[in-house]
A and B are shown apart, each in its own frame.
Chain A
Amino acid sequence: MGRFLKVAALTILAGLSGAASTLADGHGWSPQGPIKMIIAFAAGGGADTSGRLIADEVTAATGWEIIPEQITGKGGINALVALKDMPADGSSIALVVTESLGYNAAAAKGAGVKPSDFTGLTTTAGFQMAVVSKSDKGWTDFGDVIAAAKAGEQIRFGVMSPKLADLAYLLGEANGVEFNIIQVKGGKAVMNGVTAGDMDLGFMAGIQAKGVAAGDLVNLASALSGPLKQTPDVPTMADYGVEFSADGYFVFVAPAGLPDNARAALSEALADASGTGKAGGMISKAFGGTINIMGDELDALLQADFDGAGNLMAAAE
């Protein structure tokens, strides 16, 4: 009897331990080695920082080793091209933006990437994309910019992607003015340009939050389809005659063909990490909070962005 109880107790313990291990591994999957996390953004910017903090949180929660690596350029296309042919076993993921797999993939000449080449894992945050200027320009909303341009002032408009260049062009066209559109690498470069006075205004995706809070920068218009979280009273681009928006999200993807259990485990770990600890705090401050879109909903979002890119390109021709 004593032996039976001992065996039964051991069996129960083994079962519990197995179940706990399975839960800890997330859907029975864990990586066999380190995970390469490709970051498509310049080192030191908000997106890069969020990616690295998420990596730290995932490691703290799961013990998985994550090695971040920068592959920048072409609005995330270089990162996606590098990721596309890596093994679809969960050992390689990339942090890009939905625009990379949408407009940028559709517009990039010869890039050869499309949403079906990748497995979407989770979004981490939405852009807080706004048209921003220095407050000492004296502009309070985008209407003041249009008035200044109509009065003959040459307006230098900083953007960090071809899609935003099209939106800046459409903003001018809809209001009967022409901007000098300057494309630079990354939102940080736009902010530096605006702060230094090399640009009069520019698109910023959330990096402006501290400057706006301090009164050094001003959100002139929301580039989203809805209001900005920080300054909800600011008009949207639709109010200035542009039907398109710069809605988008930071998103983790893996190569196509990732097994379902690996996809579920990675998505869950990254989503949890994006709302936890320093990562959650940073994302909340810079991007207005964590947004996790996963699974079929994310697949549909990425495909819709890719399919819809043609409309904006046609409008801006």
Chain B
Amino acid sequence: MFRRLSSDTWLGLLACFLALLLIFVWIPLDTETGLIERVRRQVTLGDSLGPTVAAGILLLGGLLTVLRPDAGGRRLHVQNWRWIAMIIAVVGGALVLMRFVGPWLVELFGTTPYRDLRATPPWSYAGFMLGGTYAIATLVALARGRLTVSAVILGLVTSVAIALFYDLPFDDLQLPPNGDV
């Protein structure tokens, strides 16, 4: 049955699933107040109103897509699923590198905790540089079908440019993950 579903229907089902996950799991776990709060005569918007409305719109869009999919839409093949899985794996891997490479390097080569070095180059750049280079080079390699030196150089140069763009002019900005460690 699922094999006959079009890509539009899959997209709609995914949107519906995410919307329901948001409404019934994420929002209740991550907010403290309901949709509308009444505190001593004052009616205020609760924490969960905004995200619930957004999830509701996502659900509506998903339902419309499921009910009226593009008539000429293609079906999803194994290659499509593989592509989606690879993109998710690349982005996930890049985030893991960004978050943990700095602390790993400090553990290997330093004596001070990473938290104390989170504003000190080169430690503060390590995770962003490696994660960024990996993300860009691997995505380019996926699109081209092969990993090339030029893709790695492109990733490295872009990561350096982004890092310098944020780090040099703004004293109070920190590259990921340094604001959260």
Contact = CB atoms under 8 A, between A and B. Distances in A.
A107 B39 contact: yes
Contacts of A69: 172, 179
Nearest to A313: B40
Interface string A21-48: 0000000000111101000000000000
A281 to B, nearest CB: 21
Contacts of A169: 40-41
**SS class, residues of chain B in contact with chain A:** loop
B99 interface: no
A34 B178 CA distance: 11
A109 B33 contact: yes
B119 A67 contact: yes
A243 B42 CA distance: 21
B110 to A, nearest CB: 12
B116 A91 contact: yes
Interface residues of A, number: 25
A316 interface: yes
B27 interface: no
Interface in A5-63: 31-34, 36
A111 B32 contact: yes
A34 B41 contact: no
Nearest to A67: B172
A34 B40 CA distance: 42
Contact of B174 (A67, A109, A313): A67
B169 to A, nearest CB: 15
Contacts of B120: 33
A110 interface: yes
Given A109-B32, A109-B33, A33 B116 contact: yes
B79 interface: no
Contacts of B42: 162, 165, 181, 183
A316 B41 CA distance: 9
Q: Which of A36, A68, A87 has the most CB of B within 10 A?
A: A36
A91 B115 contact: yes
B115 A166 contact: no
A237 to B, nearest CB: 18
B112 A32 contact: yes
Contacts of A34: 116, 118-119
Q: Which of A67, A181, A183 has the most CB of B within 10 A?
A: A67
A304 B174 CA distance: 37
Given A107-B39, A162-B39, A317-B40, A65 B33 contact: no
Interface string B113-142: 101111110000000000000000000000
Interface string A59-96: 00000010111000000000000000001000100000
B119 to A, nearest CB: 4
Nearest to B33: A109
Closest 10 CB pairs of A and B: A33-B116, A32-B116, A110-B32, A34-B119, A316-B40, A68-B172, A165-B42, A67-B172, A109-B33, A109-B32
Given A69-B172, A166-B40, A183-B44, 11 more contacts: A32-B116, A33-B113, A33-B115, A67-B172, A69-B179, A110-B32, A162-B39, A162-B42, A165-B42, A181-B42, A183-B42
Interface of B: 32-33, 37, 39-42, 44, 112-113, 115-120, 171-172, 174, 179
30 contacts: A32-B112, A32-B113, A33-B112, A33-B118, A33-B119, A33-B120, A34-B118, A34-B119, A36-B179, A65-B119, A67-B171, A67-B172, A68-B172, A69-B172, A87-B115, A91-B115, A108-B32, A109-B33, A110-B32, A110-B33, A111-B32, A162-B39, A162-B40, A165-B42, A166-B40, A169-B41, A183-B42, A313-B40, A316-B40, A317-B40
